[in-house]
Structure 1
């Protein structure tokens, strides 16, 4: 049977048995900088689950998350569904017409110390979301110590100043411990294809009490699940 999901701070082993230093893995929590998250397909909700699972520290702080959507994203994927969000998460939802308004709203939110994190959703590859705009977001997030999280759908990973860039896809859920015919906790394929200060890599991820849990092994309680090899 494959090894279970473990917190990113523990020692993980790759499928070939070589040990990897867990300290080299991403932390699993939102960091005070700009991170981009690309959905594998436009309708895949995995990217939203992955991002929200990084907000455990924000929930514990009691501060709200400023969540900004452009109207096309909201029309295609819907508004955030509160019962599906982390318990206790406070949300300020802003809907704007254009990508440039998303960027402006995120910048203004990052100036506010009462906000725990700023999350933006942008559809496609608008000209307003260029390297200069992402550089401003990254610098403002780092200057004020507030995570800036940007969800991208129907988008290409063009030039960006984001410190982390992820590609997220759904995997079959883990088995429910009380009913093996029912879906259990979510699992995601998490591909960190660009990062500053750490090597890129690919992991199986799932929600944990303190953030995203990363592992090099897929644990499905079936004994024959495939494993994902880390590239970093």
Structure 2
């Protein structure tokens, strides 16, 4: 048998090079590896964002409302907005408390109760098709069969075509195949230190993991909801801020000697 190293190289090197170039430039996985970093200041087009949270806390609702408030502050503030819940979500978390919503959004709040997940999906699709709405928050519990890739694809196409974002809260759901542009895992985080009382809780914080984003790198964040601004000439409003991650800092020379 002839030596393998002595065999002539194949003559289709150009075709092989073209296939490798195609894989490096046209596959979505290759593009996603060189994505950008997400931040609350990113100007992203309206689409469907999926948020997965547990049934034991309200971190998912808080983050969905925080995302929506940021967009509402940039767009027309006079438009109404829609919150849709299926029956199982209402059993777990109850209905939204009107007095707990931001004061400037209470009079524009529209709530829809759907008996079945299919009815909730229909209401969400009709909501994102309505240009008179500012945004839509949808809430579905568990993993209903009607919420498959085709259903999420229909929601994404309708949302991007009409410019109305949908924040789909999956309470106790599984992150199966979906067409949502951004997909988050959301949970509670320790509150910020209180400004005046060391033993009192401060501003609310949420731990959010972006595990899938079209054109964005996966990452983990701690987000804090802030009202107003520290700049004297800026307009006050609701915003999400990133909490700095803890870092290892060198110990001061005096503390090294004493301890």
TM-score past 0.5 threshold: yes
What displacement does 1:134 show? 0.2
- Any stretches of 5+ residues in structure 1 without a counterpart? 1-22, 220-232
What is the rounded CA distance, in whole Å, between the counterparts of 2:198 and 2:244 in structure 1? Answer: 23
What's 2:188 paired with?
A: 170
- TM-score relative to the length of structure 1: 0.79
Number of residues of Structure 1 aligned to a counterpart in Structure 2: 196
Give the structure 1 partner of residue 242 of structure 2.
Answer: 214
Deviations 1:11-33 (A, max 9, x none): xxxxxxxxxxxx72233688510
Deviations 1:173-216 (A, max 9, x none): 11221322221211111100001011110011111344322244
SS of 2:245 mapped into structure 1: coil
Answering whether residue 89 of structure 2 is matched by residue 73 of structure 1, we say yes
Tell me if structure 2 keeps the 8 A contact 1:50–1:206: no
The equivalent of 1:37 in structure 2 is 51
Correspondences of 1:173-212 after superposition (within 5 Å): 173-208=191-226, 209-212=237-240
Preserved CA contact (<8 Å) 1:66 1:119: yes
How far apart, CA to CA, are the structure 2 residues paired with 1:49 and 1:86? 12
Greater percentage in helix:
2
CA distance in 1, matches of 2:155, 2:239: 23
Counterpart selection for 2:161 from 135, 143, 161:
143
1:28-62 CA distance string (max 9 Å, x none): 688510000000x2121111111111122325622
Consecutive aligned runs of 4 or more in structure 1 exceeding 4 Å deviation: 28-31
RMSD value, Cα:
2.0
Give the TM-score taking structure 2 as reference length. 0.71
Q: Per the alignment, in what secondary structure is the counterpart of residue 79 of structure 2?
A: coil
1:58 aligns with 2:80: no
Shift of the 184–80 alpha-carbon distance from structure 1 to 2, 3 Å rule, reads same
Bigger mean CA offset, 116-125 vs 169-178: 169-178
User: Which runs of 5 or more structure 2 residues have no equivalent in the other structure?
Assistant: 1-35, 227-236, 248-259
Q: Does the C-alpha gap of structure 1 residues 77 and 42 become closer, same or farther in structure 2, counting only changes over 3 Å? A: same
Higher strand share: 1
